[in-house]
Amino acid sequence: MADDEIILSELDDEELVAQMFDDLYDGLKEEIEEATHILLDRGWTPYDVLTKALVGGMKVVGDDFRDGILFVPEVLLAANAMKAGMTILKPLLAETGAPRVGKMVIGTVKGDIHDIGKNLVSMMMEGAGFEVVDLGINNAVEKYLDALETEKPDILGMSALLTTTMPYMKVVIDTLKEKGIREDYIVLVGGAPLNEEFGRAIGADAYCRDAAVAVETAKAQVARRHNVGAGAR
């Protein structure tokens, strides 16, 4: 196959980034690892590799998923490839002090063990410069509360795949209200059976249809909150 003949190290930067977009799209983990190393060796900052190559490539994947061109298996393979690149970049990003947009605590709600969507959101949020504390699956309200107190995030994210578990999000939000801390956090919710109406009904700040929407919503909400905070000073 022609693709097998491409020598990544012989491509110039622009061609290599374009090739990384293709390789992410095709879920080629080893190629993404190799290309990430090449860009770093050429003096790219870890932040630029992340945002211009990996996040840029995943945006194409996300757009095609939204438009029904790609499906879940292909997105998972692409995400695996991106994760491999991020594993290389993460410690370097910490060393080089990449810009941080905000912090998010995220978890799948009690009674629900599904984490594919949540993991995608976590990864894309990290790619967008958020620090993410992932509580995993099957989280009771106490676990969320503990994490909010300890981590002091800007955002609480909750995920559910089941019709039977999604109402638990309201339990968490109502508990935040009872404790008088609801307004301290931006609450974002997502998951296959949810919709905007449900998000509004339970008192979330926003329902996020997919990982890309979650990132954009999170950025917008954090920026708005900062602006409001600045205006109050």
Q: Which residues bind another protein (CB under 8 A)?
A: 71-74, 76-77, 111-116, 137-138, 162-164, 166, 192-195, 198
The DSSP-derived string for 160-190 is ---TTTTTHHHHHHHHHHHTT-GGGSEEEEE
How many helices (H) and strands (E) would you count in the chain?
Answer: 10, 5
Compare residues 30 and 183 and give the one whose CB is closer to another protein: 30
Shortest distance (Å) from residue 145 CB to another protein: 21
Nearer to another protein, 26 or 48 (CB): 26
- Cβ of residue 76: shortest distance to another protein, in angstroms? 6
Burial grade of 45 (CB within 10 A; 0-12, 13-18, 19 or more): middle
Cα of 178 vs its chain's centroid, Å: 29
State the minimum distance, in angstroms, from the CB of residue 42 to another protein.
31
Nearest approach, Cβ of residue 111 and another protein (Å): 5
Nearest CB to another protein, comparing residues 40 and 140:
140
Task: Name the phi and psi angles at 170, rounded to 5.
Answer: -70, -35
**Least distance between another protein and beta carbon 200 (Å):** 13
Closest distance to another protein from the beta carbon of 142 (Å):
17
Pairing state between β 155-159 and 102-108:
parallel
Quick one: 28 or 148, whose CB is closer to another protein?
28
Q: For residues 150 and 195, which CB has a smaller minimum distance to another protein in the complex?
A: 195
Please, which residue, 16 or 121, has the CB nearer to another protein? Answer: 121
Residue 135 and residue 144 in contact, taking contact as beta carbons nearer than 8 Å: yes
111 with 162: CB under 8 angstroms?
Answer: yes
Q: What are phi and psi of 165, to 5 degrees?
A: -105, -20
Q: Which two tokens stand for residue 106?
A: 């995220």
HSE-CB of 66 using CA atoms within 13 angstroms: 13
H or E stretch including 159? Answer: strand 155-159
